[in-house]
Structure 1
Amino acid sequence: QLIAHCLAKGQQALVLIPEIGLTPQTLARFTERFGSGIAVLHSGLNDTERYAAWEAARTGAASIVVGTRSAIFSSLLRPGLIIVDEEHDGSFKQQDGFRYSARDLAVKRGQLEGATVVLGSATPALETLHNALQGRYGHHRLTRRAGAGELPALRAIDVRREALQGGLSEALRDAIASTLQAGQQVLLFLNRRGYAPALQCHDCGWIAQCTACDTRMTVHRRQRRLRCHHCSANVRLPQACPACHSTRLLTNGLGTEQTEDVLRSTFGAWPIHRVDSDSMQGKGAMQALVAKVQQGAPCILLGTQMLTKGHHFPGVNLVAVIDADALLFSADFRGEERMAQLLTQVAGRSGRAGDAGQVLVQTHYPDHPLMQAMLTESYAEQARRLLQVRQEHGMPPHGRLILLRTDSPATETGEQFLGAVRQQTEPGLPPGCRLIGPLPSPLQRRANKFRNQLLAMAPDVRRALQLARLLVHCAEQHPARQGLNWSIDVDPLDLG
């Protein structure tokens, strides 16, 4: 309705979505409602397609522009409305190269161009919610689901002492069978692609490590490869241990490939679709799958976060989180927020067409406070509690973070550079600001570069900007020798 009102005034609307995979269904909905005059911008286009869409936006030939984060820079002849769908999603933040937040730029662009900005989400980021509660943003609450859908019932499955098959408990396997036999669809969420996150020798304890990163290689059994999910290095899956030559190699942990094998052996009579970045390759792969699933025939969807981002599967009646414990323990201060958002978004795939549906969450820690909050509180209640905790510790949105990071062939080079920057910066720190570090990044070695970081904290935006300028000025005074590169990130989402 807002878009229709915008177009009626002869203005253009810009709609940002978090993933390329959502483009086809969004475009289909808009075409059905508004007809032609819609341009699409994302990284999957070739140069000719991108230029045509850019020109359509710039000349006003396109009344609606739909795109991923980079579309925020598209030139509009008559901007009137900017919508950021799923505004909480981390993909709106460009975290390398030219760093920016498309959500924050949308707010600023709306201010500069006099356009209305709508930030939409069932699980708004704490920064956005804080601005709304403080009266900086208008706050519109949608208290009912779209259409006839009802909110699903959430239940935890205690998997302690359970015999798991591919990560699936007996209770979950029974629920899957009942749902399929009732002619309905099942969505299983496991945020770990590959077959297993580690390969280990049973005789000597050797573990397959990436030679370029401080991390283990992931087993991809379909391709018979070991892959690093950080630097993309890959090697052939060994037949024997390179240390002791034993052939007794074990896989540790769980991935979507492993669970898929169990599902096919147990529920082979029904279609099973694995949805992750390994299986959904090729232009139109996700679009074809969504169209097939939306036909409504009973099936099982197994996937990673790709399944949680706005896709509409009206036939899904059962949603299950296979390994909720992987979300419980995070060293990042945003971990609790991300867990609440992710589980709420996953649960939102169930019961979208009438029946309430059910959501089952497998965990070894059913009594953990975060798990209890997820089962008994709404996202709004959890968010308000987390905001209170952030305020007590001076963390965003009640404070600002700045991350100065170095990448260098030797860790000492980065430590010395950041140490010198800190020493030069400290005498001129704005009041209330402080520095932490230099410290090694949690994942210190990545792609044969050692990463170190200096974390800066400021109580408000004004002093954060002063501090950022000071850090850049001081960093520029020190030559980046021996292959060192440095970068600064204001409001970083990734501290790893």
Structure 2
Amino acid sequence: MSTAEPGHTIAVAVQTPAHSGMGDLLTYRSAQPLAPGTLVRVPLGRREVLGVVWEALAAPPEGVDLRAVAAVLDGIAPLDAHWRRLVNFAARYYQRSLGEIALMALPPQLRDLQPEQLARRLRRPAPTAQTDAAAVPLVALSAEQENARAQIAAQPGPFLLFGSTGSGKTEVYLRCVQAMLAADPSAQALVMVPEINLTPQLEERFIARFGATSVVALHSGMTNPQRLKSWLAAHNGSARIVLGTRMAVFASIPQLRLIVVDEEHDASYKQQEGARYSARDLAIWRGREQGAKVILGSATPSLESWYASRPASADDPGGRYLRLHMPSRIGEGALPRLRVVNMNHQPRRTVFSAPLLAALQERVERGEQCMILLNRRGYAPVLHCADCDWKSDCPHCSAHQVFHKADRTLRCHHCGFTVRVPRACPGCGSPDITPIGKGTEQLEEQLATLLADVRRPDGSPVRVARIDADTTRAKGALEAQLAQVHSGETDVLVGTQMIAKGHDFRRITLVAAVQPDGAFFSSDFRAPERLFSLLMQAGGRAGRDAQYIASQGSRGELWLQTFHPEHGMVAALRQHDYIAFAEQQLQERRDAAMPPFAFQALVRADARTQEVAQGFLLAASDAAYTQGLPGLGDHVTLYPPVPLVIQRVANVERVQMLLESDNRPALQHFLAAWQPLLLALRNQPEHKGLVRWLVDVDPLAI
């Protein structure tokens, strides 16, 4: 560390308060010339904060007494121009301040360590990068895998690797990374997964192939020291492969040559707090800007990626991506067969139909494993009193408190407010309060009762387990539970969508979705896409090991209990026909001018009252028309503000306003021109009580 004195004028990106209007860059003086990308500590108000030097200025502003840079982080090489351009693009596109994006992309501990602590950490010798791929025996690629690998090697991309569940997409990723590392001794790769719980198993495969010193992970489940260590290894080049969740797209990887986005369709790649960026979309931009190949992989691609990979035709030049198709499972394993149970023919309030129970019993008795999917945790969504119609509503949100039987609590899954279950109805005193609806906790309990007499091949009783956000809170709990499934200790696994994707369960032969109908008729135009993807991904957990399936003399099955067996989605699921489903959905969206044939943004206002929130957005709309902002009316349409479906969370009222455009640049120009008006409105007296406002570009939920 070195202390600065007067001499040079620099512009520094710092994390200023949201919507403060302070501007993207603040100006400081430095005793020495500092290269762009240098990390510094600078005074901001009464605090000293971390900043990134963005540019050197020719002269200080006139009549301004600049404050001096407090310290320079000498031991860390400046962040390169590629990284700064990525941050700048993300800030502009997602309508956030440059300093917010820049500092968000840096490890938290870098902001907090004292200078001497950081100096000690930097003095520790960094491990030497190495690859020991040659020591690992490689499995032979299938013809489809080899074709995909050859195309990726020969073409510039980006690529959409459209491979069915179990087709061996991960092995293609591994081979492409291996070829890239072998071709360039300094090259680095970024491999992203949608969720933290998928990182450990992928990390194991990469470490087994390339060695522990070459691979680092980056995700929010790590401790701050772990994240800093991984970030430094990627930044200085000692880590050749970076595995991570969406935050990893901002990692400093100077020699980046390959980016893999696994399960690219997953909504987890879209940040839902603060700067609402899409890591998948930024990966495409970063790959093009930095000269890195990009592979998007999925068995059920997002419709945006599917459309972007459409082949050329006589009247269509085609999409920007190259689509690579791998329809077959490794080892000639068959895709799971769909079994549909018409719940209209079952007794009222049936949770597990008789045919499904019989199938579960048969599989357990043969020593096979089963998986039950219900994307709702807890015991029941609500408690209800039949005498006075009381419901377990959250006092702080427009939502019910969920009944959790294990600890006898009512919990709001939106604000976290928790109370003990009352002994009697708080409204009328009746002791007869009953749960309504089903959650994973109740399914686990019911299955344990219904299968109590079922025996495993060794004569021991059936073992039912549950994996959801409640059972995996403790550190290491998820890994321990997954290990029990892999070892065969669990016979029937009940869980939410966190078990439905990415996991390579070798002995699961039956997957059942017990209550999937809610999304069939949702008002959200993306709901069918999400449901189809979830069911296809969940079904893909069944029958993945062709040798095991053959030895058992059975076939993987996906069971679907539905009141709408004639729905078009069911027909597409029966044939595993994502292509037909995608084309039908794209036609509907084309007819309705919805993404990917149009571009959207949301402006949301949160306030203490609906009146203030609605008033702010109405005033913002009026200001846009009064000022005649570019594109408004010609390319950009503003819709009236409406409350969110859950309009109150933690005593804050939420309202949103939709913007649509037939032209992406026009929408961006409009938003950029609108920002100063929104900032000015924020400070007007009539909007006192406004908690926050935000812009969400390319929203996934409306």
Alpha-carbon separation, structure 2, partners of 1:462 and 1:147? 47
Match of residue 254, structure 2, among 74, 77, 90: 77
Q: Which moved more, 1:240-249 or 1:134-143?
A: 134-143
How much has 1:377 moved relative to structure 2?
Answer: 5.4
1:439, CA displacement in angstroms?
A: 1.4
Is 1:40 paired with 2:239?
A: no
- Structure 2 letter corresponding to 1:280: T
User: Which one of 482, 491, 516 corresponds to residue 324 of structure 1?
Assistant: 516
Q: Deviations over 1:204-262 (max 9, x none)?
A: 11111111111111110111111111111111111100111000001100011111111
Letter in 2 for 1:28: E
Give CA deviations for 1:124-164 in whole Å, capped at 9, x if unaligned: 10111111113201111112123443201012101124237
Q: Which runs of 5+ in 2 are unaligned?
A: 1-174, 311-317, 453-460, 550-554
User: Which residue in 2 is equivalent to 1:301?
Assistant: 493
Judge conservation of contact 2:381–2:437 (CA < 8 Å) in 1: yes
1:97 and 2:298 matched = no
Q: CA deviation at 1:429?
A: 4.9
> Is contact 2:603–2:656 with CA below 8 Å preserved after alignment?
yes
Pairwise CA distance, 1:271: 1.6
3-state secondary structure, aligned to 1:105? helix
Does the aligned pair in 2 maintain the 1:296–1:314 contact within 8 Å? no
1:283 CA drift (Å): 2.0
Which residue number in structure 2 is paired with residue 425 of structure 1?
Answer: 624
1:3–1:13: 8 Å Cα contact kept in structure 2? yes
CA-based RMSD = 1.5
2:240 to 63, 86, 90: 63
Provide the secondary structure at the position in 1 that maps to 2:667: helix
Q: Which deviates further from its counterpart, 129-138 or 168-177? A: 129-138
CA distance in 2, matches of 1:136, 1:445: 41
The aligned counterpart of 2:560 is 361
| Pairwise CA distance, 1:289 | 2.0
The answer to whether the Cα contact below 8 Å between 1:432 and 1:459 also exists between their aligned partners in 2 is yes
Deviation at 1:455, TM superposition (A): 0.5
Q: Which residue does the alignment assign to 1:493?
A: 700
1:88-139 C-alpha deviation (Å, 9 max, x unpaired): 1111110111211110111111111100111111111011111111320111
CA deviation profile, 1:33-92 (whole Å, cap 9, x unmatched):
112211011111111111111111111111111011101111113111111110111111
1:441 to 2:644 alignment:
yes
The percentage of counterpart residues that share the same residue type is 40
The answer (yes or no) to whether the contact 2:382–2:400 under 8 Å persists in 1 is yes
Provide structure 1 residue ranges, at least 5 long, that are not aligned to the other structure: none
Q: Distance in 1 between matches of 2:247 and 2:323?
A: 26
Residue 198 of structure 2, aligned match among 22, 32, 40: 22
Aligned length: 495
Could you report, residue by residue, the CA deviation over 1:273-328 in whole angstroms, capped at 9, with x for unpaired residues? 10100011222222222222222456111000111120110100011001111232
Deviates more, 1:53-62 or 1:139-148: 139-148
Cross-structure match for 1:267: 451
In structure 2, give the amino acid aligned to 1:385.
Q
Q: Does 1:187 align with 2:371?
A: yes
AA paired with 2:586? Answer: L
* TM-score for the superposition, normalised by structure 1: 0.97
Within a 5 Å distance, the mapping from 1:128-167 to structure 2 comes to: 128-133=305-310, 134-163=318-347, 167=351
- Provide closer, same or farther for how the CA distance between residues 377 and 29 of structure 1 changes in structure 2, counting only shifts above 3 A: closer
Instruction: Output aligned runs, 1:449-460, within 5 Å.
Output: 449-460=652-663
Q: Are 1:384 and 2:583 matched, yes or no? A: yes
The answer to whether 1:411 aligns with 2:610 is yes
Residue 368 of structure 2 aligns to which amino acid in structure 1?
A: Q
Question: Which residue of structure 2 lines up, in the alignment, with residue 474 of structure 1?
Answer: 677
2:575, 2:636 → 1: CA distance? 38
Q: CA deviation at 1:380?
A: 1.8
Query: TM-score if structure 2 supplies the norm length?
Result: 0.69
Work out whether residues 409 and 482 of structure 1, in 8 Å CA contact, stay in contact via their aligned partners in 2. Answer: no
Q: By how many angstroms is 1:185 displaced?
A: 0.5
Match for residue 335 of structure 1 among 501, 505, 527: 527
SS at match of 1:273: strand
